[in-house]
Chains A and B, each alone.
Chain A
């Protein structure tokens, strides 16, 4: 089945450390890929998206992700974690015929 898989349901980093959240996709057609963030008791907010073109995508709040077709990955990174980055992050996927669906989510904790 075509989908996304998020590796690691919980990730903990220290403030100022690198953030790396992993997402792999499975698709027989070119996918559109998304990262969303969800803060407690809120809806999802788009961080960034890959459609076509440049494979390194920059988003809001200093996040970026790189589409790697050879590795079927779309990992989310941020060079330096901030306390306000603590939230749940969802990798999303859509194709021409399939509407946006999501991975299982990764909860990011940021330790002071």
Chain B
């Protein structure tokens, strides 16, 4: 059945290293969201794309985070350099937006649990 696939599911890395998280949205969905979940901040919207174009990345720390969609089947979220405060679960979600209206439900992947030591 159709689902959002995220890799890796778990990542432990040392501070200062580059981290890349990957997401395969549901086939046919044109909108991809990145969320971060922590105990302290809850679920935060980091960035989202429609038709592979970034619409809003205001939730993302610009100096170290970057998000891209190289093609319609792959979205990436990179952190360089990583810091311990980046430890969180990162979720990718996808949806179908038929007009300019962003009112769409999001289908979530299982998440990438990142630990930066």
Contact = CB atoms under 8 A, between A and B. Distances in A.
A109 interface: no
Nearest to B33: A99
Contacts of A32: 103
B91 A95 contact: no
B45 A96 contact: no
B43 interface: yes
Contacts of A112: none
A45 interface: yes
B104 interface: yes
A95 to B, nearest CB: 7
B103 A43 contact: no
A44 B101 contact: no
Interface string A46-67: 1001010000000000000000
B56 A99 contact: yes
B103 A102 contact: no
A43 B102 contact: no
A32 to B, nearest CB: 4
Contacts of A95: 102-103
B46 to A, nearest CB: 11
A99 B45 contact: yes
Interface stretch (B13-21, B78-86, B106-114): B106-114
A95 B103 CA distance: 6
A98 B48 CA distance: 11
B70 interface: no
A100 B105 contact: yes
Given A90-B43, A105-B43, A100 B100 contact: no
B28 interface: no
Contacts of B100: 96
Interface of B: 4, 33, 42-43, 45, 48, 55-56, 91, 93, 95, 100-111
7 contacts: A42-B111, A44-B108, A46-B106, A95-B102, A95-B103, A97-B102, A104-B42
Given A43-B4, A94-B103, 12 more contacts: A43-B91, A43-B109, A44-B91, A44-B93, A44-B106, A46-B107, A94-B104, A95-B102, A96-B103, A99-B55, A100-B93, A101-B43
